[in-house]
């Protein structure tokens, strides 16, 4: 059975050109993927390359939600937008997943209204993936919910665990609570209460508190925190990809390394940098809504969009939404 991905063709800083190209590339590379591009029909059709596969189609969506628009205003006033219509198609079963690099707030707001929440999950969450010495680490939440209650962190732990199992192949993933110390009783009222609840949650393989330095050391497969802290970590991680090469380059110049040695170091560093590059991750899933939703970076490139479409298909193939519903 083909997997149909609804793509917000107007979402992102470089839309629609980059989005159309990336989505078409995904359809070309995987015969099981069907892409439905949502946006102004005439504008999108002009961008389709002559060799676009038959698995790529267009659904007209005349309204466009800008990257800086108020999510609440867009939710009420632009009901014919690419985000609204694509999510509506997903809700109606005409698409298996939805992908957007557009206005994150609008995508979340419309997803909650159109798709709704899964079971008892009160706070759907966007996850982040971080490289480590032993593979990828799932961090939940990375900015969706900046003010949380202890039970929200438990929901994050359950959702992150299912994602790690289904997508990353972790068997009984270890869950760490991000804190200012490893000892029991450390932290603020939120983390202290969340610690007690996580210990009592059978669906979570709780490993206790971990500190920020432990994330890249892979002290846990899943790390939970409130969205305020998580977003700070996410932005710090994103900066590594751009700042680290500059720091290393300056140090090589200071040491006076020969050009051939600098090239070897630069090549090695490029491989490390790639592990922090958002283009490689294929966006971030919005877990806890009644559907399969991938949200991408506003500055997404062609490669990033292509990987986002693939990530949407992977959510479907691995049954992440169904697993979450059973656990919710």
Q: Which pLDDT tens digit goes with each residue over 60-98?
A: 999 999 998 898 888 888 999 999 999 999 999 999 999
The token pair at 181 is: 């110390």
**Taking 80 as the threshold, does the pLDDT of residue 328 lie above it?**
no
User: Which is more confident, 157 or 278?
Assistant: 157
Residue 68's pLDDT is 86
Residue 72's pLDDT is 86
pLDDT (tens digit per residue) in 224-274: 999 999 999 998 988 887 888 899 899 999 999 999 999 998 888 888 777
Q: Are 33 and 26 in contact (CB under 8 A)?
A: yes
Pairing label, strands 125-126, 284-287: antiparallel
- What CA–CA distance (Å, rounded) separates 276 from 271? 9
Residue with tokens 């995904």: 26
Residue 95's pLDDT is 98
pLDDT (tens digit per residue) in 169-196: 999 999 999 999 999 999 999 999 999 9
Residue with tokens 């985000």: 83
DSSP H/E element including 259: helix 259-274
pLDDT (tens digit per residue) in 121-160: 989 999 999 999 899 999 999 999 999 999 999 999 999 9
The token pair at 291 is: 């559907």
CATH superfamily of 3-121+288-318: Isopropylmalate Dehydrogenase (3.40.718.10)
**Taking 80 as the threshold, does the pLDDT of residue 281 lie above it?**
no
Residue 311's pLDDT is 96
pLDDT (tens digit per residue) in 308-324: 999 999 999 999 999 99
Domain residue ranges of the chain, discontinuous segments joined by +: 3-121+288-318, 123-280
- What CA–CA distance (Å, rounded) separates 183 from 186? 6
pLDDT band at residue 168 using 50, 70 and 90 as cut-offs: very high
Average the pLDDT over 280-302 and give the result. Answer: 92
The token pair at 230 is: 């998580």
Residue 269's pLDDT is 83
Q: Please tell us whether the domain made up of 123-280 is placed in CATH 3.40.718.10.
A: yes
Beta strands in the chain (DSSP E): 3-8, 33-39, 56-60, 97-100, 125-126, 128-132, 135-140, 174-178, 205-210, 222-224, 284-287, 293-295
Residue 117's pLDDT is 95
Classify burial at 150, counting beta carbons within 10 Å of its beta carbon; exposed 0-12, middle 13-18, buried 19 or more: middle
Task: List all residues 6 or more positions away from 256 whose beta carbon is below 8 Å from its beta carbon.
Answer: none
Nearest residue to 64 (alpha-carbon basis) of 88, 87, 84: 84
Residue 74's pLDDT is 81
Residue 278's pLDDT is 66
pLDDT (tens digit per residue) in 11-50: 999 999 999 999 999 999 999 999 999 999 999 999 999 9
pTM of the model: 0.92
């Amino acid at each position: 059975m083909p997997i149909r991905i609804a793509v917000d063709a107007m979402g992102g800083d470089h839309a629609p050109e980059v989005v159309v190209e990336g989505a078409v590339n995904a359809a070309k590379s995987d015969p099981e993927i069907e892409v439905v591009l949502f946006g102004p029909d005439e504008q999108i059709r002009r961008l389709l390359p002559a060799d676009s596969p038959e698995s790529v189609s267009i659904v007209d969506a005349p309204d466009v939600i800008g990257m800086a628009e108020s999510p609440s205003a867009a939710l009420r006033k632009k009901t014919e937008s690419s985000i609204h219509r694509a999510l509506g198609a997903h809700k109606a079963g005409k698409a298996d997943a939805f992908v957007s690099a557009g206005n994150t707030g609008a995508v979340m707001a419309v997803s909650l209204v159109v798709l709704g929440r899964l079971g008892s999950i009160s706070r759907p969450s966007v996850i982040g993936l971080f490289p480590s010495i032993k593979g990828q680490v799932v961090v939940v939440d990375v900015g969706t919910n900046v003010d949380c209650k202890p039970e929200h962190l438990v929901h994050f732990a359950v959702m992150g665990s299912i994602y790690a199992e289904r997508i990353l192949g972790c068997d009984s993933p270890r869950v760490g609570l991000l804190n200012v110390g490893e000892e029991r009783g450390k932290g603020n009222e939120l983390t202290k209460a969340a610690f007690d609840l996580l210990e009592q949650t059978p669906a979570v393989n709780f490993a206790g508190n971990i500190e920020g330095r432990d994330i890249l050391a892979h002290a846990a497969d899943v790390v939970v925190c409130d969205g305020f802290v998580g977003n700070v970590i996410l932005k710090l991680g994103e900066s590594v990809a751009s700042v680290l090469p500059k720091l290393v380059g300056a140090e090589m110049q200071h040491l006076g390394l020969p050009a051939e040695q600098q090239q070897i170091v630069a090549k090695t560093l490029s491989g490390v940098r790639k592990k922090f590059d958002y283009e490689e991750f294929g966006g971030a899933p919005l877990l806890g809504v009644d559907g399969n939703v991938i949200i991408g970076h506003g500055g997404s490139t062609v490669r990033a969009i292509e990987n986002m479409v693939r990530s949407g298909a992977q959510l479907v193939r691995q049954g992440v939404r169904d697993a979450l519903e059973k656990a919710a």
